[in-house]
């Protein structure tokens, strides 16, 4: 078990949680009273983290929201990651960047994610194949969630194409589990909006670790999703938690919403 998995498992046990909160912070949706601060994005993230740190197993900042703000946004992302490492070092960070390119470009992504931000895991897309992803996959102490069946409505345009007797998303799962995972540092991303596909992958690959987005604002059904996943998964919820409130005490509603999701996940697991 690599370092990320050990850290994640310990945090799951400590907080009795399979909930990952996505820090998809949009400056336009930040409570108005924070906008006067020097770094509203970081102050918002800090508040979210402080009020939910005992309820989560991981945090997942989406790099696009920070890149959209230019240099200031990247500074906010760096400060957010540093804050988690310093104040809550037991909680792992998954960078949702969906990277993958040729070898030399991937080296730049690696330096950004693991040397600069010092995250423990990140999301990748599989389109360029194992050869291109080797710089990532060779990092034994890091973990990589490979896009398999994504949560967006148009996911089937490519992912449902038939390749031989399988759908393309099934081929991706097979490659990741049977070929790419030689260092036990690969998992899959499968959206909660496709519980049947999730169940199919779980039936075939009983132990693969799965990151599941798509609950809340994207419309995924928590109970169907958890029953399909069964084990070795984390549920990511972003907007439905972090934007639960907009007044000065917005943290109270954020915490309430996070507690509700954690309770729902745990209750459903017990009922399996």
79 given a catalytic annotation: no
Which residue is catalytic, options 46, 98, 175, 259? 98
Task: Report the candidate in 47, 146, 155 with the shortest Cα–Cα distance to residue 98.
Answer: 146
DSSP character string of the chain: --HHHHHHHHHHHHHT--EEEEE---GGGS-GGGTTSS-HHHHHHHHHHHHHTTT-SEEEEBHHHHHTTHHHHHHHHHHHHHHHHHH-TTS-BEEEEEE---HHHHHHHHIIIIIIS--SEEEE--TTHHHHHHHHHT-TTSEEEEEEE-SSTTTHHHHT-EETTEEHHHHHHHHIIIII-TTS-EEEEE-TT-HHHHHHHHHHSTT--EEE--BGGG-B-HHHHHHHH-SSEEEEE-HHHHTS--STTHHHHHHHHHHHHHHHHHHHHHH-
Task: Please report how many Cα atoms fall inside a 13 Å half-sphere around the Cα of residue 158, on the Cβ side.
Answer: 9
Known catalytic residues are 98
């Amino acid at each position: 078990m690599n370092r990320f998995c050990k850290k994640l498992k310990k945090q799951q046990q400590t907080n009795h949680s399979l909930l990952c909160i996505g820090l998809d912070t949009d400056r336009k949706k930040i409570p108005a009273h924070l906008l006067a601060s020097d770094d509203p994005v970081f102050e918002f993230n800090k508040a979210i983290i402080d009020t939910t740190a005992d309820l989560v197993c991981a945090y997942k900042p989406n790099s696009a929201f920070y890149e959209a703000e230019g240099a200031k946004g990247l500074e906010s992302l760096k400060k957010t990651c540093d804050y988690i490492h310093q104040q809550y070092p037991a909680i792992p960070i998954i960078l949702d960047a969906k990277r993958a390119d040729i070898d030399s470009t991937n080296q730049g992504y690696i330096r950004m994610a693991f040397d600069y931000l010092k995250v423990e895991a990140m999301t990748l897309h599989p389109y360029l194949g194992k050869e291109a992803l080797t710089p990532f996959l060779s990092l034994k102490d890091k973990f990589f969630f490979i896009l398999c069946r994504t949560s967006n409505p148009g996911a089937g345009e490519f992912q449902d194409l038939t390749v031989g007797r399988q759908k393309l998303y099934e081929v991706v799962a097979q490659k990741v589990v049977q070929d790419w995972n030689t260092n036990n540092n690969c998992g899959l991303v499968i959206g909660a909006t496709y519980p049947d596909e999730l169940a199919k992958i779980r039936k075939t690959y009983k132990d693969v670790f799965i990151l599941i987005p798509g609950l809340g604002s994207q419309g995924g059904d928590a109970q169907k999703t958890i029953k399909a996943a069964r084990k070795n998964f984390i549920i990511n919820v972003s907007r439905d938690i972090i934007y639960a409130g907009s007044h000065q005490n917005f943290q109270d509603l954020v915490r309430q919403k996070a507690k509700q999701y954690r309770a729902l996940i745990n209750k459903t697991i017990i009922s399996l």
